[in-house]
Structure 1
Amino acid sequence: MTTARLTLDARFPIGAVRRRLFGGFVEHLGRHVYDGIYEPGHPQADEQGFRRDVLELVRELGVSTIRYPGGNFVSGFRWEDGVGPREQRPRRLDLAWHSTETNEIGLHEFADWLDKAGSDLMLAVNLGTRGVLEALDLLEYSNVPGGTTLSQQRIDNGRAEPFGVQVWCLGNEMDGPWQLGHRSADDYGKIASQTAKGMRQLDPSIELVVCGSSGASMPTFGEWERVVLEHTYDDVDMISCHAYYQEHDGDIDSFLASSIDTDRFIEAVVATADHVGAVRGSAKKIDISFDEWNIWYQTRFHDVDQITGVDNWPVAPRLLEDVYSVLDAVVFGSLMISLLKHADRVASASLAQLVNVIAPIMTEPGGPSWRQTTFFPFAITSRLAQGDALRLRVEGPTIETEKFGAVPAVDAVATHDAETGATAIFLVHRGRDGAVDLAIDISGLGDVEVAEAHLLHDDDPYARNTLEEPERVTPGTVDARVDGGILHVTLPPIAWAAISLARA
């Protein structure tokens, strides 16, 4: 058995853990909305057609702010289609996912769903096929209490009080050639700045997210961020990061080390943003909205699921319904560790997505709902992470990876609430060849005891939860004990763990 030593010191925080770090993402894509959160004929449907079983799981997941309605979908979306009497709403072709959008669910219905889920709304505006005026109209409709035509329209449509949307995304992945309205960094930066300035004139209290590159592997990455921020630095609060990971060609070790890429991605965007600020002589800091992240087997979509044909526009087709393994969930947990390790600059994050589409929650039409393996690291981390994030010093073995070279076998972060004394430690063991014995120095916390100890591991790293076996994988417990200011934990190979400590 290998050993590793970790040191935790609450006197050296990274930054406060903001609740928006545990956000989600709902896009009109596949069976996410229709047959996912909304299925009027289901035995579990409430009076509005929302599945109660799904709502219960979303609340258990602990999702804070939810980004809506896309994603690629937003770049062709006309928000007016989703308000007013349902029988009068148009059916539209969604070019992003080659589907038909019925508009049965729009802004009002989704806001009602969020009220039931206990989450806040984060809206994306269409800067692909639309522009400044449409964004201002949506903001007025959403946030102005009354006295104007658009605010009165909202009231007439059943919402007397404003939606009060605080966070707004200025388009989506505008550097992506797949995106409707795709444009250069210079052109996007100009329209984003114009839109932001107009929106702030209407409601100065809002927070704005400008599009960063669609991913760190994009040829535009880095230069895109620089140019866009040169246009928008004074106008926005955050810049977006998007990242998805999957196992490639059996390279398990590189996949297990995916969070190394996340770390580098965040740090590169922060460096670029700070460079722009320094050149401008600005004391302002641009934070990051990591508003799309997940495990996503994109090759499966491109090879199997893509819909084509000018006469083939299905409603709510089965798209991107990845079935996640324990291995996927361990990598997923390590991505959450990366977000916490950058809590000083990552102000918001959105797990993409929530139901059926690359999601922690799955449903069957007319049938059950169940938790995927990735559900557990998110729900447990969202519940336990409080106060400040703490960077742990880790001394231990490394593993060799084809993509990243030698990386630490153990990755970890902690959170600490000074007021309550609650501490949580989140751990990943990337090693595949045996267990690792951890000795974590927690002497600086005083007299504490283990309150909870969760472990996600299976002897078969490809074990999954499915419709046939919805509880094949569930979290177990890990042996964790405090002795003389040292927390002793033994982690099996390919494992994620969370340990909560409380004052004794």
Structure 2
Amino acid sequence: MATTARLTLDPAFRIGPVEPRLFGSFVEHMGRCVYTGVFEPGHPAADADGLRTDVLELTRELGVTLVRYPGGNFVSNYRWEDGVGPVENRPARLDLAWRSLEDNRFGLNEFMVWAAKAGVEPMMALNLGTRGVAEALELVEYANYPGGTRLSDLRRAHGFDRPHDVRLWCLGNELDGPWQMGHKTAAEYGRLAAETARALKRFDPGLSLVACGSSNSAMPTFGAWEAEVLEATYEMVDHVSLHAYYDPSDGDVDSFLASGADMDHMIRSIAATADHVGARLRSRKKIKLSFDEWNVWYQSRFPGEAALDWTERPRLIEDAYDVTDAVVVGSLLITLLRNADRVGVACQAQLANVIAPIRTEPGGPAWRQSIFHPFALTARHARGQVLRVEPECATIATAKHGDVPAIWATATYDETTGELALFVVNRDRREPCALEVALPGELRPVEHLELTDDDLSAVNTAETPDRVRPRPGTGLRLRGRRASLTLPPVSWSVIRLAPDSPQE
């Protein structure tokens, strides 16, 4: 028997505008994300720069707007100078983060070429683990200053006359974590981040800076870390970062399907922490959040860095994602949109091969994983203003998150076209849900797609790349100012509605 749910879509009740930077991704020198992922000279689909055009096409289809680079844990022991200049002169180094051999054939300038071809904004991370203020300034000068200085002229000598003009910079990565090269206390990091931010703002006040938040919500210093770091950096940074990965390996499917509840709690907790610091400092500034690492990750299957052998381009955490994973990713995107007033940046980690929506084989094909589809459709159709949507529905008891609503939803309203897009997940594993939607006027259906399957363990592979994909939904009915449809168990759906004629 189907459960029931109701919600109202009203353009007057808004959370905030859809921030394009919410649809970011992440390219780290880890496993095969870079090498044989986005970059593979000699591949049949490689262009003159060695970039895989099949991956570029899929990146554009995915709708990625921004990409964070070069890490991640990798950046905390990285010398950016190793990755610029003639390739034959670049040194090979040990990557201590992932126990890999890095030959530096792909570096800053290659990434900027790739970003331009992919049509994405670059988001650069600085090494504040084993390096400091001076090295950060040198990188920003090389990347952003027009010319006439040693480092800007060095960039020009390397073939890039115009500055890269990177506007968004991460002040390190996960430095609260003892696994990080250069791990620091909150006081140590807060001082270094403040001094770095002060110097970078002196170079260019228009730069947007992200301070490191907690590595995850299970860290013993979660919340306290952010408070201490922001006490030191509040007036000099623009964002504080959040990271979260959700592991389905323990078999607790109900809790896994409710992962969005944990993400929502993290966002609200850190927003409240930031606002508390702002109040203590009597500041009128409001810190935004940068959720610059998030995804599903079968983390318990990963043996840890210490178990890895030194090698080049190892196959690391190349998880194959099933239908349930895709539904959870859809619910996490809904959560980000529901918090569009505070989350200014978000990056799904990572883009290719490493816990990624895009998979490749060396010399072979590239294909879309199941999680590709909710991201691509949300990035494509979430436009204009995010509406406040609060479904009336049953709850599901979970071991990790308590009682959560069975229906998780958000909607956007495009004022230029009058189009409404509703994104909705049914978390219930057992029952479909009969959903009634109150509309602001009489609308026509534009599209109804749903991602679900009788086999929730189905995955896409090189041999069956389209086994899991969105399919046209059935049963959507519009009667006056009301829409109704049935949401299958464990499903993600997008429903687009529009007036008969475009808005004036």
Q: TM-score, normalised to structure 1's length?
A: 0.98
Specify which of 484, 493, 497 is matched with residue 497 of structure 1: 493
1:279 aligned partner, one-letter code: R
- CA apart distance, 1:111: 0.5
Alignment of 1:24-103 (within 5 A): 24-103=25-104
Cα displacement string for residues 309-329 of structure 1 (whole angstroms, at most 9, x for unaligned residues): xxx421111001000010001
Alignment of 1:101-250 (within 5 A): 101-250=102-251
Structure 2 contact 248–297 (Cα < 8 Å) conserved:
no
- CA apart distance, 1:415: 0.6
Alignment of 1:382 with 2:379, yes or no, is: yes
Q: Distance in 1 between matches of 2:52 and 2:151?
A: 31
Alignment of 1:300 with 2:296, yes or no, is: no
Alignment of 1:5-20 (within 5 A): 5-20=6-21
1:462 aligned partner, one-letter code: S
Q: Distance in 1 between matches of 2:216 and 2:250?
A: 21
Structure 1 contact 136–199 (Cα < 8 Å) conserved:
yes
Alignment of 1:349 with 2:346, yes or no, is: yes
Q: Distance in 2 between matches of 1:441 and 1:217?
A: 39
Q: Distance in 1 between matches of 2:68 and 2:459?
A: 27
Cα displacement string for residues 139-162 of structure 1 (whole angstroms, at most 9, x for unaligned residues): 101111011010000001011110
Alignment root-mean-square deviation, CA: 1.0
Structure 2 contact 249–300 (Cα < 8 Å) conserved:
no
- CA apart distance, 1:393: 2.2
- CA apart distance, 1:173: 0.2
Alignment of 1:462 with 2:457, yes or no, is: yes
Alignment of 1:249-328 (within 5 A): 249-302=250-303, 307-308=307-308, 312-328=309-325
Structure 1 contact 125–171 (Cα < 8 Å) conserved:
yes
Instruction: Indicate the residue corresponding to 1:434 in structure 2.
Output: 431
Structure 2 contact 5–433 (Cα < 8 Å) conserved:
yes
Deviates more, 1:404-413 or 1:166-175: 404-413
Structure 1 residue ranges without an equivalent (≥5): none
1:492 aligned partner, one-letter code: P
Alignment of 1:360 with 2:357, yes or no, is: yes
Q: Distance in 1 between matches of 2:112 and 2:485?
A: 43
Structure 1 contact 26–70 (Cα < 8 Å) conserved:
yes
- CA apart distance, 1:24: 0.6
Cα displacement string for residues 12-44 of structure 1 (whole angstroms, at most 9, x for unaligned residues): 100111100000100000000001111112111
Alignment of 1:481 with 2:477, yes or no, is: yes
1:406 aligned partner, one-letter code: D
Alignment of 1:408 with 2:405, yes or no, is: yes
1:38 aligned partner, one-letter code: F
- CA apart distance, 1:419: 2.2
- CA apart distance, 1:307: 4.2
Q: Distance in 2 between matches of 1:389 and 1:74?
A: 34
- CA apart distance, 1:502: 1.6
Structure 2 contact 247–300 (Cα < 8 Å) conserved:
no
Q: Distance in 1 between matches of 2:113 and 2:78?
A: 20
Instruction: Indicate the residue corresponding to 2:394 in structure 1.
Output: 397
Query: Which aligned segments of 4 or more residues in structure 1 are displaced greater than 4 angstroms?
Result: none
1:377 aligned partner, one-letter code: P
Q: Distance in 2 between matches of 1:134 and 1:365?
A: 35
Q: Distance in 2 between matches of 1:406 and 1:307?
A: 38
Structure 1 contact 98–307 (Cα < 8 Å) conserved:
no
Cα displacement string for residues 127-186 of structure 1 (whole angstroms, at most 9, x for unaligned residues): 000000000000101111011010000001011110000000000000000000001000
- CA apart distance, 1:434: 1.9
Q: TM-score, normalised to structure 2's length?
A: 0.98
1:100 aligned partner, one-letter code: L
Q: Distance in 2 between matches of 1:44 and 1:364?
A: 12
* Equivalent pairs, count: 498
Q: Distance in 2 between matches of 1:329 and 1:34?
A: 25
Alignment of 1:411-426 (within 5 A): 411-426=408-423
Q: Distance in 1 between matches of 2:496 and 2:224?
A: 42
Q: Distance in 2 between matches of 1:246 and 1:503?
A: 41
Identity within the alignment, %: 57
Structure 1 contact 8–393 (Cα < 8 Å) conserved:
no
- CA apart distance, 1:468: 2.7
2:8 aligned partner, one-letter code: T
Cα displacement string for residues 62-90 of structure 1 (whole angstroms, at most 9, x for unaligned residues): 10110000000000000000000000000
Query: What secondary structure is seen at the aligned counterpart in 1 of 2:191?
Result: helix
1:282 aligned partner, one-letter code: S
Q: Distance in 2 between matches of 1:392 and 1:485?
A: 16
- CA apart distance, 1:108: 0.7
Structure 2 contact 449–493 (Cα < 8 Å) conserved:
yes
Cα displacement string for residues 174-199 of structure 1 (whole angstroms, at most 9, x for unaligned residues): 00000000010000000000000000
Query: What secondary structure is seen at the aligned counterpart in 1 of 2:225?
Result: helix
Cα displacement string for residues 416-438 of structure 1 (whole angstroms, at most 9, x for unaligned residues): 11222121100000011121110
1:9 aligned partner, one-letter code: D
Structure 2 residue ranges without an equivalent (≥5): none
